[in-house]
Amino acid sequence: METSILGRPRSEPARRAVLDAALRLVRRDGYQAVTIKGIAEEAGVGRQTIYRWWTSKAEVLLEAVIELARPIAQPEPTGDPLHDLRQILRGSFRLSPVAGPIISGLMADATNDPEFLAKLQSELLARRRALIRETLERAQRDGLVGAGTALDLVTDMVWGTMWYRVLSRHAPVDETLADQVTEAVLTLLGPVGK
Amino acid sequence: METSILGRPRSEPARRAVLDAALRLVRRDGYQAVTIKGIAEEAGVGRQTIYRWWTSKAEVLLEAVIELARPIAQPEPTGDPLHDLRQILRGSFRLSPVAGPIISGLMADATNDPEFLAKLQSELLARRRALIRETLERAQRDGLVGAGTALDLVTDMVWGTMWYRVLSRHAPVDETLADQVTEAVLTLLGPVGK
DNA sequence: TTATTACGAGACACCATGTCCAGTAAAGTG
DNA sequence: CACTTTACTGGACATGGTGTCTCGTAATAA
C-alpha cells in the first residue's frame, strides 16, 4: 500500500519547517517541554499537518535527528580502520550536544512503547552500532588488532562510554575522549595473533 | 533553616504511599505517562501533599529510586575487590528492569534543568560511580591489577556499557554481562607492574 | 487551650491533547 | 476547462493534567 498518486502532493517545505522547528524548540526548551502544538506554531503549520504524517512528537524528533546525523552516518572507509574509528567518534561527539538530549528523550519515551522502540532501534541505534562494529571487524581483518575481547562487548563499551557521559554529564564528550576510547579498544582487542 | 519543630509532623505513611504509588505507576504506564495527579490518586493522598514536599514528578521518582537502590548502595568490601566488583554489577543489573527506565526518564528530564541535574548527579549517579571507582582503586592497591588505562575512563566504560544496554535494549543486562565486564576491566587495567 | 503545621478533598484558570470541520490550494484526469 | 482527490492553514471542541488556593480536620508542642 503505497501513498496514492492522486491529489495534492505532500508539501516538502512544510515537512522541513516541522523538523527544523522541532529541533529549534528542543534546543531552546528541552525535550520534555516540546509539544506538538508548539512545533506547529513555531513552524507556521496547521496542527493537523503534523498529526497526518507523525503519530507523536517522538516520531517527529526521531526523523529530525536521523536527518541531522546523516552526514556522519555513511562515511567512506579510508584504508585505516583505526583512523575511521576515531573519525566516527569525533563526528558523533560533535553532534552530541544537540543529538544527545534528543536521543535521551526518545529512549525514555520508548521504554513503554514497544513499536516505537523497534523503530528507534532499527532506524537509529542499530545503524550507529553497526558503524562501529564494522569498523572494528575491518581492523581485525586487516590484522591491526587481535580478537582478545568479544566484538559485541567492545562495541557496547565504545558507545556506552559516550552515552554515559552524554547523559550523566560529569565529564566532557570531546576529542580527548575519542582518542582515549580508541586506545582502550586497542587494549581490549589486543595485539594480533594473541 | 531546618524544618520547624512546631505543628503537626510530616506523615511518614503518606510519604511511603507516594513513593510506592509512583514506582507502581512507572512500572505500569512508563515514566512519561506518570502524572502527579495520578500518583496522588493511586496513593490515596491529597495532591497538595505532594506539591508540599516535592517540586516535580522527577523529584518524587528520584527519591523513590534512591530508596530502591539503598540495599546495594553500601556494600561492605570483602577481601576480594574483583569479587566485590562482580557483586556490585550483578546487584545493579538485577535492579535495572525497574530502575533503568526511571533513571532514563530522570536523565531526560534533567537535560534542561540544571538544578535537578546537579541533584541527580550528587545523590545518585556520582554515588554509583564512586562505588565502582573505589572498588577498582582497592584492586589496584591490593596489587590485583595494574594501571594500564586511566581509572576514570574504565569506570565510565563499566557503567556506560550497562547503560547502553539498558537504554537501547538490543541485548540483555544479566550476570553474563557482569562477568564479561569484569574480565574486560582486567584487560584494560592490565597485569600488575605493567 | 492555643498556636502551628500537615492532611484529604475539591474548586479554579490555564494549557496541551487529539479529533473534527471548514475553506482553500495543488496536483492529475476527462 | 471543470472535476476529483488529497494536502494545507485555521479554528472549534471535549478531555485531562498543571499548579495554586481554600476548606474543614488532625496532630503535635507550648
| % pLDDT > 90, chain B | 89
Residue A10 CB partners (closer than 8 Å, separation 6+): A3, A53
A81 touches chain B (CB under 8 A): no
Burial of B95: CB neighbours in 10 Å, binned 0-12, 13-18, 19+: middle
Per-residue pLDDT tens digits for B161-189: 999 999 989 999 999 999 999 999 999 99
Residue nearest to nucleotide D28 (CA to C1'): B8
**Model-level pTM?**
0.93
Q: CA B139 to CA B111: how far, in whole Å?
A: 34
**Residue B4 CA to C2 C1' — how many Å?**
18
The angle formed by the CA atoms of residues B118, B124 and B125, to the nearest 5 degrees, is 75
Instruction: Give how far A23 is from chain B: nearest CA, Å.
Output: 14
Closest partner CB to B163 (pick from A160, A183, A187) = A160
Which alpha helices (DSSP H) does B30-113 contain, by range? 36-43, 47-53, 57-73, 81-110
Q: Is the CB of B37 under 7 A from strand C?
A: no
Q: Is the CB of A46 under 7 A from strand D?
A: yes
Q: Reply yes or no on whether the pLDDT at A35 is more than 60.
A: yes
A126 touches chain B (CB under 8 A): yes
**What 3-state class would DSSP assign to A56?**
coil
Give the distance from CA B181 to its chain's centroid: 18
Residue whose C-alpha cell is 544527545: A100
pLDDT at position B1 is 39
Instruction: Give how far B1 is from chain A: nearest CA, Å.
Output: 30
Per-residue pLDDT tens digits for B47-74: 999 999 999 999 999 999 999 999 888 7
Backbone dihedral region of B80: left (phi > 0), alpha (psi from -120 to 50 degrees) or beta? beta
What are the CA-CA distances from residue B26 to residues A78, A104, B68, B75 (Å)? 47, 17, 13, 27
Residue nearest to nucleotide D3 (CA to C1'): A7
